[in-house]
Amino acid sequence: MNVPRINGDRLWADLMAVGKIGASAGSGVTRTALSATDLEVKAWLLAQMGQLGLETRTDAAYNVIGRLPAGQPKRSGAVAVGSHLDTVPQGGRFDGALGVLAGLECLRTIREQSIALPHDLELISFCDEEAAHNTGTVGSRAMLGLLQPGELLKSVGQGRRSFAEALQACGKDAARVGEARRDPADFAAYLELHIEQGRRLESAGVQIGAVTAIVGIFRYLVTVTGEAAHAGTTPMPLRKDALVQAAPLFSLLPDWVQRRNPEAVGTIGRLEVHPGAPNVVPGRCQFVVEIRSPQREDLVALRDQLRAHAAAREGWQVETVLEKAGTPLAGALIEAVAEAAAGERLSCLRMASGAGHDAQSFAAAGVPAGMIFTPCRRGVSHHPDEWIEPEQAAQGCQVLLQVLLQQAE
Ligand code: GLV
Ligand code: MN
Ligand code: MN
């Protein structure tokens, strides 16, 4: 059989159209989960899915879902393809969007060429992959029953809404998020195309990554409480400056992490100082400590180091935000990606992912999950300069289509 071809120009046009939603000059794309721009992109996707004749819906966690029903005879278990359309603040055009729009392009190709598959195909754009409310991969974890009790209600920082509050403000009933949950047996497989977000592929001159595993991520909300005071009249020895008390940790964390494992990383990417005025000694500061490693033992050891540091000091409080272990992806799908790349005469590297992805939720729930990476320029991601070439998007999408069709065999 001739291999059906995706339409790379159409995929690129979609990437550019979606890249305008939430874009601002010089500041990249901001579509943080459940913001106005996120709702706009959800509406855009629903319209595209509708035009394609998919059965569309949003679920209780505000995942956007389009279904292309199976032909006859039908097998149980849908094959799902997806990623996310939310972005980090001032992010790029491809992180997440590539996977959703490539999925859309695959479904269009399948429809146009009247290919009947023996299983339902679902295209899913997951809600809040990017941790706008600190935890991340919320939609996919809600779908796979992996949320912790009370997780969505947790404080995110002063003046920020919890996921539940933001969801409610979007007109969904936050008390019913549990209804997004599905039986993992509903899915025969999950596939996701994504930009690599690192530079291994580009440096090696390789066109496709077959993802073997996804890194583990632990996150903690740390609050340090001191005493606010007048910044002009309070002598230095009398201060209880919360930021000064917290500061040594900011450079200790990189040390701890590097000593533990060169593959581990640690970041403090969100910091708030209260009350936050130039003439007030900080009375309290709050920040999120994130650690990542493929090895669970590293995460546990670094967490314990953080807790010990906090316990030895007055006014420190450490709250768990997320503890997600690293997850291997399905061996058969790793091989399917490598074979599909070979079929397209594209070079391929088997590699682990240092970024988190919705695929991890499926793998953790026991659904066979596979991921395809495309290189991105200089490995830049979570940044306005994130970039891939149209040809790279098309190559990744074509490999996705092949792996998708292979699931019917
Ligand atoms: C998602 O991009 C993540 O790795 O945090
Ligand atoms: Mn991201
Ligand atoms: Mn992503």
Q: What is the pLDDT along the chain (409 residues), one digit of tens a residue?
A: 578 999 999 999 999 999 999 999 999 999 999 999 999 999 999 999 999 999 999 999 999 999 999 988 788 899 999 999 999 999 999 999 999 999 999 999 999 999 999 999 999 999 999 999 999 999 999 999 999 989 999 878 777 899 999 999 999 999 999 999 999 999 999 999 999 999 999 999 999 999 999 999 999 999 999 999 999 999 999 999 999 999 999 999 999 999 999 999 999 999 999 999 999 999 999 999 999 999 999 999 999 999 999 999 999 999 999 999 999 999 999 999 999 999 999 999 999 999 999 999 999 999 999 999 999 999 999 999 999 999 999 999 999 999 999 998 8
Atom of ligand 1 nearest to the CA of 129: 1
In which element (H, E) is residue 65 found?
A: strand 64-68
Phi–psi pair at 4, nearest 5 degrees: -60, 145
- Distance in angstroms (rounded) separating the CA atoms of residues 347 and 388: 17
Contact between 86 and 130 under an 8 Å Cβ cutoff? The reply is yes
Q: Which residue has the tokens 């967490």?
A: 303
Phi–psi pair at 96, nearest 5 degrees: 90, -50
Pairing of strands 216-225, 208-214: unpaired
Atom of ligand 1 nearest to the CA of 197: 2
Which amino acid does the sequence have at 83? Answer: S
From the CB of 198, is ligand 1 less than 6 Å away? no
Give the number of the ligand closest to the Cα of residue 193.
Answer: 3
Residues in the chain: 409
In which element (H, E) is residue 17 found?
A: helix 8-18
Atom of ligand 1 nearest to the CA of 136: 5
What is the CB neighbour count within 10 angstroms for residue 103?
27
Q: What is the pLDDT of residue 1?
A: 58
Which amino acid does the sequence have at 340? Answer: A
From the CB of 356, is ligand 1 less than 6 Å away? yes
The first and second tokens of residue 264, run together, are 């581990």
What residue owns the CA closest to ligand 1's atom 5?
356
Q: Find the 98 Cα to ligand 1 centroid distance in Å.
A: 14
Q: Which residue has the tokens 């920082």?
A: 157
From the CB of 216, is ligand 1 less than 6 Å away? no
Q: Find the 239 Cα to ligand 2 centroid distance in Å.
A: 39
In which element (H, E) is residue 245 found?
A: helix 242-260
Q: Find the 354 Cα to ligand 2 centroid distance in Å.
A: 11
Contacts of range 294-301, beta carbons closer than 8 Å, 24 or more positions apart? 294/213, 294/215, 294/216, 294/263, 294/326, 294/352, 295/216, 295/261, 295/263, 295/264, 295/326, 296/216, 296/325, 296/326, 298/260, 298/261, 298/264, 299/216, 299/218, 299/264, 299/323, 299/325, 301/260
- Distance in angstroms (rounded) separating the CA atoms of residues 293 and 291: 7
Q: What is the pLDDT of residue 339?
A: 98
Q: Find the 129 Cα to ligand 2 centroid distance in Å.
A: 7
DSSP H helices in 64-214: 97-112, 138-143, 163-169, 200-204
Q: Find the 44 Cα to ligand 3 centroid distance in Å.
A: 19
Atom of ligand 1 nearest to the CA of 356: 4
From the CB of 91, is ligand 1 less than 6 Å away? no
- Residue 16: exposed, middle, or buried by beta-carbon count in 10 A (0-12, 13-18, 19+)? exposed
SS3 316: strand
From the CB of 355, is ligand 1 less than 6 Å away? yes
The first and second tokens of residue 213, run together, are 């595993």
Q: For the chain, how big is the Rg over CA atoms in Å? A: 22
Q: Find the 358 Cα to ligand 1 centroid distance in Å.
A: 10
The candidate with the shortest Cα–Cα distance to 295, out of 355, 361, 210, 216, is 216
Q: What is the pLDDT of residue 409?
A: 84
The candidate with the shortest Cα–Cα distance to 137, out of 122, 120, 121, 124, is 124
What is the CB neighbour count within 10 angstroms for residue 23?
17
What residue owns the CA closest to ligand 1's atom 1?
356
pTM equals: 0.94
Q: At what angle do helices 97-112 and 8-18 cross, to 10 degrees?
A: 140
SS3 156: coil
Exposure of 360 in the CB half-sphere (CA atoms within 13 A): 26
